Amino acid sequence: MICGLVASTNIFPSAFTSFSNLERPKKLLLQWRSSGPLPVHCSASSPRMSLATETEGAEPPLTGGSYDFLSATTSLTEKMLECPKKVTLVRHGLSSWNEESRVQGSSNLSVLTETGVMQAERCKSTAEVIWKGREEPLVFLDSLKEAHLFFLEGMKNAEARAIYPREYTTWREDPSNFSVNGVYPVQKLWGTAREAWREILISPGKDFLVVTHKSMLRALVCTSLGLGPERFRAVDINNGGISIFNFNTKGEAMLQALNMTAHMYSDYYYIY
């Protein structure tokens, strides 16, 4: 059975608008307010069911989804939240450095390609498209920055492998132990990811959309599930990929969906 997420607020436009100012995707946190719980609709014959709740004695949803994940993971907030929360994570579209097989990082020199524009737009422009007409301001978090990879940033992978063989091999095969002058970018990224989760989850509201970068998304997914930086490459997120988390009032996470890309295929924007 194939389920489609139906939201009272149109979060993801079916067609993407091109913009002339294509800067490097930026970190971004969006919050939307919906008039009610987000329902899941499974086939034309089944009723719409509210997503997982914490109501004691609640029956399992007809979709077969879990409604009780107490203590499944470690609290990311170490404090009680005002209500259960839902966080949707999105990776930006294909950038020029993706296409040229360059080492990405925190640099602003990489811009979206034409394909990337069609796929999702850069983070800030995506936010502006989604948020058009709403009164609440967009929120940008420094804690959602991409990892800083120092001299490797912007180099083509083949060049980096030839010029810095030891450092490049460590970055590719043992990223958690990749270091420059005593700085461990991936280990540092895990700390900023935990900070980002706290900032997001203690913010007022129930539903959040976060648009950011691949390495940060890997860190967000892993930290929410209690995985350390040595698991950095255990998770992959495609350009335009969508991941969804539910959080209970203790700040414990349940991964509901990872790296969904069907929307990119159905709209003919996902060609890789």
Residue 21 has pLDDT above 80, yes or no: no
Dist. CA 219–CA 92, nearest whole Å:
16
Of the candidates 92, 213, 252, 263, the residue annotated as catalytic is 92
Query: Residue 10 domain-assigned?
Result: no
pTM assigned to the model: 0.69
Query: Residue 167 domain-assigned?
Result: yes
As a whole number, mean pLDDT of residues 84-113 equals 61
Query: Residue 12 domain-assigned?
Result: no
pLDDT band, residue 261 (cuts 50/70/90): confident
Query: Residue 261 domain-assigned?
Result: yes
Of 22, 186, 163, 158, the residue nearest 101 (C-alpha): 158
Query: Residue 15 domain-assigned?
Result: no
Query: Residue 60 domain-assigned?
Result: no
Q: What CATH number does the domain containing 155 carry?
A: 3.40.50.1240
Query: Residue 139 domain-assigned?
Result: yes
Sign of the alpha-carbon torsion through 260, 258, 107, 200: positive
Residue 2 has pLDDT above 60, yes or no: no
Of 108, 214, 103, the residue nearest 160 (C-alpha): 103
Domain that holds residue 142: 26-34+73-266
Q: In residues, how long is the chain?
A: 272
As a whole number, mean pLDDT of residues 218-246 equals 94
Query: Residue 244 domain-assigned?
Result: yes
Whether 146 is catalytic: yes
Bridge partners for 103 per DSSP: none
Contact of 101 with 155, CB cutoff 8 Å: no
As a whole number, mean pLDDT of residues 226-253 equals 94
Of 248, 265, 237, 230, the residue nearest 87 (C-alpha): 248
As a whole number, mean pLDDT of residues 163-168 equals 90
Residue 253 has pLDDT above 80, yes or no: yes
User: What is the count of structural domains for the chain?
Assistant: 1
Of the candidates 121, 128, 135, 146, the residue annotated as catalytic is 146
Which is more confidently placed, 130 or 227? Answer: 227
